[in-house]
Structure 1
């Protein structure tokens, strides 16, 4: 049997252009003062226009702000206006550094965790849980063997030093 020819597919570029999201404007906000976090930034920047995404960069260990943030506006023109108006703005004894980030310079992971509260990882609690977990019989045997070999090594060193010591 003869195969029927399929009609030519639409070019992918045309489809991508039709589905492409509308252009947005992204700004970098540096030299953030302490106390000017997500909850305070969103209403502050919404006075200029619609804020679609906002992310304050934070330390994974302590969850403290690293002192800079990225804000995405629905309109690129709004981002330019905000950058012009807010660059050098004195806030809580700090001069904000604000500039527009070109769309091609916005890293794909920039918005990872945006619009969500930062969840602090308690590394001490994780380490304690790992150290205090129940051991298998094989792990306990290895632990006992290491302890006995360490004791034997210590006794040998004491004997080599001429010290007669026996501990319980």
Structure 2
């Protein structure tokens, strides 16, 4: 069955993937309506023909995008080829600026192929655009377009500090330890491949931390006080 598109339905899109705080209000960016996207009647004969045809979505990757060619411009430009279901402009996490490449998903794979062929090598504002069709079976699209409707905002230093210093659960600590162990293993493999014999250890000295905690604890202070009294008594007996 073909989808009926309404002029009043604005598509919403996000700039980047990224993780935003749950405490912040979710902001969305409204996209413009494209001319010629109104309702149209479909014949029953066309509907019967289309039942036998399976339409698969297509995904293209764009690189070399000029500055100023952002989400709204991408959507309005590529909608002339066909229906754009999702798109993602990759932005910098520090500055929020465009990194010059994006992913556009079309409703039909044939439309995506035509768009990639026409846009590959296209000169736009002194920048040469490169475009290629991506195999969706070899690509995790759900991870790519996660939170794609959410508007990307750069976090302030205060928000970064609160996020870093937040109280973590046991599961989060275990995941971070696993990631750290994987990084150490990769570094160890690189050293072994280079012929360097050196065993890497974790950058957090756990033993020293435990010793410091024992020193700060009140039980250790009592022990230290008792040991100091004993030593003074022994010295007095020797005299």
TM band (smaller chain): 0.5 to 0.7
1:58 aligns with 2:63: no
1:44 to 71, 74, 77: 77
Change (3 A) 1:125 1:117: closer
Pick from 86, 107, 130: which aligns with 1:97? 130
Aligned to 1:87: 120
- What residue ranges of structure 1 are gaps of 5+ in the alignment? 1-20, 132-168
Report how far residue 22 of structure 1 moved.
Answer: 5.5
Q: Distance in 2 between matches of 1:24 and 1:30?
A: 20
TM-score in terms of structure 1 length: 0.60
Q: Runs (4+) of structure 1 moved beyond 4 Å?
A: 128-131
- 1:29 correspondence with 2:59: no
Mapped contact 1:55–1:115 kept (Cα < 8 A): no
Deviation at residue 61 of structure 1 after TM alignment: 1.2
SS in 1 for 2:151: coil
Unaligned 5+ runs, structure 2: 1-53, 166-239
Distance, in Å, in 1 between the alignment partners of 2:152 and 2:163 is 22
- Give the aligned length: 112
CA RMSD of the aligned region, Å?
2.4
Matched, 1:68 2:65: no
Distance in 2 (CA, whole Å) between partners of 1:104 and 1:123 is 39
Partner of 1:116: 150
Residue 111 (structure 2) aligned to one of 78, 82, 102: 78
Deviation of 1:114 after TM superposition, in Å, equals 1.8
Cα distance between partner residues in 2 of 1:130 and 1:111: 25
Taking the aligned partners of 2:161 and 2:59, their CA distance within structure 1 comes to: 39
Deviates more, 1:121-130 or 1:45-54: 121-130
Which SS does the other structure have where 1:35 is aligned?
Answer: coil
CA–CA distance in structure 1, aligned partners of residues 60 and 163 of structure 2: 41
**TM-score, length of structure 2 as denominator length:** 0.43
* 85-94 vs 121-130, which moves further: 121-130
Instruction: Using the TM superposition, give the Cα deviation of residue 128 of structure 1 relative to its aligned residue in structure 2, in angstroms.
Output: 8.7
Contact 1:24 1:72 in 2 (8 A): yes
CA deviation string 1:7-49 (max 9, x = no partner): xxxxxxxxxxxxxx96200000001111101011000000100
SS at match of 1:96: strand
Whole-Å separation in 1 of the counterparts to 2:157 and 2:163: 10
